[in-house]
Amino acid sequence: MNLSAHQPNFFPWLGYFVKVAISDIHVILDDVEFSKNNWINRNIIDTGKNSYLTIPVNKSDTNKPINQVRLGEEYKFSINKIIKTLDHQYKKSDSLTFIKNLLNESKDKNFIFLSELNLFYLNNIFKFFEISTSIFKKSELDLGNGLNASILLTELCKKYDCSNYISGIGSKSYIDESKFNSRKISITYTEDLQLLFEEYNLNKNSIIQLICDEQFDIKSKFPTLVNDYKKNYLYKK
């Protein structure tokens, strides 16, 4: 079986959702350390220039685990700004309405922590794409904290009896493959996703853009993307 893991980013890129969809188990690393200037509380869309969509967080929490990082007091104002940006950028459509409803509903939830907000968005987009992968939060697992990244990932694989770890290409810089080899766990890097997305002209667009802009028709294309990746890339490795 295949396992993947990732931090709960704010509307992560399309490749994340494909990675989750091709996994049997996905673990959300909600209690790893928050990283400044990362994609945990911000995203970017092309409005003729790069426009950042940012969710403010409590500045005193930025050295804490993600699930202990509190939302900034003005986060609902920031969500309203994001909605206005999307209204200005995209034509009215069912897909735009889906994202706007998601953003508006999140304000009514009165979340305290960033991880709660991001998990709300992620879980709804999993449903939007009809992803059936089993999802778990690391904070709810009895694995302890402070583990080396490679040891943590191999422990997750062993816990769920998975023999293959699906990793983004960025993980090559810190994964110790010897830790996986010693436990007979293989690693599949998903760098080929870039090639697949280029075929569909999807490579340089955020998930918000892909959903809101109906020209991409991403909801109906998603199952084809997943099947194409499995057939032409994943199973050929």
Q: What is the pLDDT of residues 26-82, one digit of tens each?
A: 999 999 999 887 899 999 988 778 889 999 999 999 999 999 999 999 999 999 999
Q: Which helix (H) or strand (E) holds 115?
A: helix 114-128
Residue 36 near residue 144, CB atoms below 8 Å? no
Contact present, 26 and 5 (Cβ < 8 Å): yes
How confident is the model over 103-143, as pLDDT tens digits? Answer: 999 999 999 999 999 999 999 999 999 999 999 999 999 88
> 101: pLDDT confidence band, cut at 50, 70 and 90?
very high
CB 117 within 8 A of CB 71: yes
pTM metric for this prediction:
0.94
